[in-house]
Amino acid sequence: MALDSLALAPLYKSPDGNGIRLMAETSKKPAFPLKSLVPSKSKLTTIETKRILSVLDETIHKVELVSLLSFAASNNEGLEGMLGEDIMKAVRENEDLCQQLLDKVNYLQDEAMRLQEKEEFKDEGWFRDRLLSIQQQKSHLLPLRQQIKESTKNILRLLLNNPQAARLLQMQSLARSAEAQSFIDSLIELRGFLLEKLLTSPMEARDKAYFIQDVTRQNKRNQEVIDALESELAKSLKNRDAEVQKENSVIQELKNHLHQVLRFSENSLLRMKHEAEKQQKADFRASQARVAKIQQEIQQLRSQFYNLLMENREAEQALRKKKYKVETEIENWIQKYDMEMSEKQDQYEELDIIHKEEKAQLEQLKYRHNALVEEFSQIRAEQEIISKKNLEAQEEMMRMVRAATLIQAVWKGYLVRSMLRSKKRKRGKGNAKVKEKAKKGKAKGKR
C-alpha cells in the first residue's frame, strides 16, 4: 500500500505537462484558483487524525532504529559504553540469529541449484529424498524467523525505554544502507501525503473534484483541437502524395526518352563491334606464334617433371618404412594402455562398491535424523501446550482475585449504606417527637 500511494502523482498536477501547447478556445469561466487545492488548515484538530499520524511517526522512528542494528552489531566495541550492556547483548543475539538464518538460506539455495543441475535424475529415489529433506529444512526456518521477530521487538522495547540510547543510535544515520534510507524516505513521503489527506476537509475535496472535472473538460476540448489538426495533417499528406505521383509520372517520361536515346546508340555499337572483330583476327595470328613457343616450354617442363617423379618415389619408399615403424610403436603403446586401463577399471569397481556401502550408511543416518527431528518437534509442541496451560491457569487466578476484590468492595459498600440508612431513621424519629411536643404546647396556649 505504501508503494502504491508513493507511485501516485498529486491530483493537482497540470494536464499540459508534456510541453505541447495547443491553440484552443479559452474557457468563458475563469480558471479555478490553485490556492483552493492547498489545505486551509495547517494543524490537525481531531484526536483520531492525531492518533493516525502518531502511529505513522512511531513506525518511521522504529524503522530508523531497526535499519541501524547491523551497524551497531558490527561496531559493538565502540557503542557498548554508549548504548548499554543489555541493548548490545540483545543486538548481538539478534545478529547471531540473522546470521544463522542467512547461512541456512544460502545452504538451501546451493542444494536447490545442485538438484536443478541434476534434474534428469528426478525419477530416482535419492533425488526425491534430497528434495524432501530440503522442504523439511525450509519448514524449520519458520521458528527461527519468529525468534528474529521477537528479538527485534525486544531491542525496540529496550531502545524506547532508553531514549538517550535511541538518540545516540539515530545519530549514526550515515551508516545506514541506501536501500533502508530509500525506504525511510518513502515512509516520510507517505507521511506527507497522509497529512495532506487528513488536513483536507470535505469541502476542499469537493473543490478539488470540481477542479479535476474542469481540467478534464479542458483536456477534451484540447483533444478535439488535436483531432482537427490531425485531419488537416491527413489532407496535407494526401496532397503531398498526389504531388509525388505527378513527379513519378514525369520521371517515367524521362526514362522513356532515355530508352529512345539508347536505341539510337546501337548503330555506333555495331560499328565498334566490326572494328573489334578485325582487331581480334590480328591478335589471333599473334597468339599462334606464342602457342608454338609455349609448346616447346611444355616439353622441357615434362622432362623436368619425370626427373622429379623418380626422386619423389625414392623419398616415398623411405617414408613408408618410417611409417611402418611408427605404426608398430603405436600398437605397442595401445597394448600397454589397455593393460593399464584394465587395472584402473578394477580399482574403479572396488571404489564403486565402497561408495555404495557408504551411501547405504548415509541413508540410515538420514532416517535416524528425520526420526530425531520428529521427536524434537513433538517435545516442543508439548512444551508449548504446557506453557499455554500455565498461562491460562495464571489468568484464571487473576480473574478470581479480581472477582474476590470486587465482591468485597460491593459488600463493604452495602454495609456502609445500611449503616447510613439506620442512622437516618433514628434522626427522623427524634425530629417527629420534637414536632409533637411543639404542637401540644401551642394547643395549651390557645386554650
Rounded to the nearest 5 degrees, what angle is found at the Cα of 240, between the Cα atoms of 234 and 244? 145
- The confidence band for 295, taking pLDDT boundaries of 50, 70 and 90, is confident
Buried b (16+ CB within 10 A) or exposed e, 40-72: eeeebeeeebeebeeebeeeeebebbebbbbbb
Torsion of CA 146, 150, 151, 154, to 10 degrees: 180
d(CA 382, CA 372): 15
pLDDT over 90 at 226, yes or no: yes
d(CA 100, CA 94): 10
Average pLDDT over residues 286-296: 84
CA 249 to chain centre: 61
Q: Who's near 187: CB < 8 A, 6+ residues apart? A: 2, 56, 59, 60, 63
Q: How much is the pLDDT for 248?
A: 87
pLDDT over 80 at 21, yes or no: no
**Cell numbers 539455495 label which residue?**
109
- The confidence band for 18, taking pLDDT boundaries of 50, 70 and 90, is very low
**Cell numbers 489468568 label which residue?**
395
Q: How much is the pLDDT for 225?
A: 92
Average pLDDT score, the chain: 78
Helix (H, G, I), strand (E, B) or coil at 37: helix
- The tens digit of pLDDT for each residue in 323-365 reads 888 989 898 999 888 898 888 888 889 898 998 998 888 998 8
Percent of the chain clearing pLDDT 90 (strictly above)? 8
Which of the residue ranges 180-189, 264-273, 310-319 would you say has the lowest mean pLDDT?
264-273
Q: Who's near 433: CB < 8 A, 6+ residues apart? A: none
In the chain, what are the helix, strand and coil shares in percent, each to the nearest 5?
A: 90, 0, 10
Q: Who's near 67: CB < 8 A, 6+ residues apart? A: 176, 177, 180, 181, 183, 184
d(CA 197, CA 11): 11
Average pLDDT over residues 209-221: 87
Q: How far is CA 232 from CA 24, 228, 229, 235, 238, in A?
A: 15, 6, 5, 5, 10
> Does residue 131 contact residue 137 with C-beta atoms inside 8 Å?
no
Higher per-residue confidence, 83 vs 307: 307
209 by Cβ neighbours in 10 Å (0-12 / 13-18 / 19+) ranks as: exposed
Q: How much is the pLDDT for 77?
A: 63
- The tens digit of pLDDT for each residue in 371-428 reads 888 888 899 889 899 989 999 999 999 999 999 999 999 998 888 888 888 887 777 6
Average pLDDT over residues 59-86: 74
What is the DSSP secondary-structure string of 101-163?
HHHHHHHHHHHHHHHHHTGGGTTSHHHHHHHHHHHHHHHTHHHHHHHHHHHHHHHHHHHHH-H
How many CB atoms are located within 10 Å of the residue 152 CB? 19
> Does residue 186 contact residue 2 with C-beta atoms inside 8 Å?
yes
Q: What is the pTM of this model?
A: 0.36
- The confidence band for 40, taking pLDDT boundaries of 50, 70 and 90, is low
- The tens digit of pLDDT for each residue in 124-146 reads 667 677 777 777 777 777 887 88
Average pLDDT over residues 144-168: 79
**Cell numbers 555499337 label which residue?**
269
pLDDT over 90 at 161, yes or no: no
Phi, psi of 349 (to 5 degrees): -65, -40
- The tens digit of pLDDT for each residue in 168-203 reads 777 777 777 788 788 888 888 888 878 877 777 777
Q: How far is CA 428 from CA 392, 395, 420, 441, 442, in A?
A: 54, 49, 12, 21, 22
